[in-house]
Amino acid sequence: DAGVIQSPRHEVTEMGQEVTLRCKPISGHDYLFWYRQTMMRGLELLIYFNNNVPIDDSGMPEDRFSAKMPNASFSTLKIQPSEPRDSAVYFCASSRGQAETQYFGPGTRLLVL
Amino acid sequence: AQSVAQPEDQVNVAEGNPLTVKCTYSVSGNPYLFWYVQYPNRGLQFLLKYITGDNLVKGSYGFEAEFNKSQTSFHLKKPSALVSDSALYFCAVRDSTSGGSYIPTFGRGTSLIVHP
């Protein structure tokens, strides 16, 4: 298996622009997680899905953030409009079961100028 | 509620010496405990986990962790550190009781630096 795939690996954009991050989980995994990592806040859980359904989005910082999972093999995290404080590394992870080992993608390093 | 603490932001150790990265937790019931490692510019990788059974858990790359219920700790250890072990280490906990969160909570991470 190729593991969790994220794209793009790096994104540089200007404030106010829309940013879309993409994730392909490991086949057969029924949980998908989006995390944000910064020096100041560490690793934060933004939202997670079970069988493509959003279960808990309480970690999503603002309405500017939205996430979708249209099918079992694809999820997006969208920021619109983006702001400099959104600059971070965004990770997608998947697991087979809610309490099981999570497998992380390589991350998307986002820089908003 | 569940929580996890990694009391040290950074741990420094000389190559060849034993290393310990500390983790303490708080749960209502019994814990599920995990250790992950993050190398520079990479995602987190699973190292080991404790669900039940033997208090000493062995994992990848020669790492092990000891579950101590009385001290609510799950410290990560390795008998002989390598320079290549230098990375960011995360502890995570999930409460096994039905009233707890079903998703593991991650600590803030501990940076391990192994000096040649």
Q: Mean per-residue pLDDT for A4-24? A: 97
Q: Is A48 on the interface with B (CB under 8 A)?
A: yes
Q: Quick check: B46 and A45 CB within 8 A?
A: no
Question: CA-CA distance, B89 to B21, in Å (whole number)?
Answer: 8
On chain A, the residues whose CB falls within 8 A of the CB of B96 are: 99
pLDDT band, very low/low/confident/very high, at B100 (cuts 50, 70, 90): low
pLDDT band, very low/low/confident/very high, at A1 (cuts 50, 70, 90): low
On chain B, the residues whose CB falls within 8 A of the CB of A42 are: 106-109
On chain B, the residues whose CB falls within 8 A of the CB of A107 are: 41-43
- Strand extents, DSSP E, chain B: 3-5, 10-14, 19-21, 24-26, 31-38, 44-50, 56-58, 64-68, 73-78, 87-95, 105-106, 110-115
Q: Quick check: A42 and B108 CB within 8 A?
A: yes
Q: Is A98 on the interface with B (CB under 8 A)?
A: yes
- Say what the pLDDT of residue A75 is: 98
Question: CA-CA distance, A105 to A57, in Å (whole number)?
Answer: 20
pLDDT tens for A44-95 read: 999 999 999 999 999 998 899 999 999 999 999 999 999 999 999 999 999 9
Q: Quick check: B109 and A43 CB within 8 A?
A: yes
Quote the minimal CA–CA distance from B73 to chain A in Å: 19
- Say what the pLDDT of residue B99 is: 55
Quote the minimal CA–CA distance from B88 to chain A in Å: 11
SS (H, E, C) chain A: CCCCEEECCEEEECCCCCEEEEEECCCCCCEEEEEEEECCCEEEEEEEEECCEEEECCCCCCCCEEEEEEECCEEEEEECCCCHHHCEEEEEEEECCCCCCCEECCCEEEEEC
CB pairs under 8 A between A and B: 45
pLDDT band, very low/low/confident/very high, at A38 (cuts 50, 70, 90): very high
- Say what the pLDDT of residue B116 is: 94
On chain A, the residues whose CB falls within 8 A of the CB of B108 are: 42-43
- Say what the pLDDT of residue B9 is: 95
Residue among A43, A48, A101 whose CB faces B34 most closely? A101
Please tell me which residue of chain B has the smallest CA distance to A33. B103
Q: Is A103 on the interface with B (CB under 8 A)?
A: yes
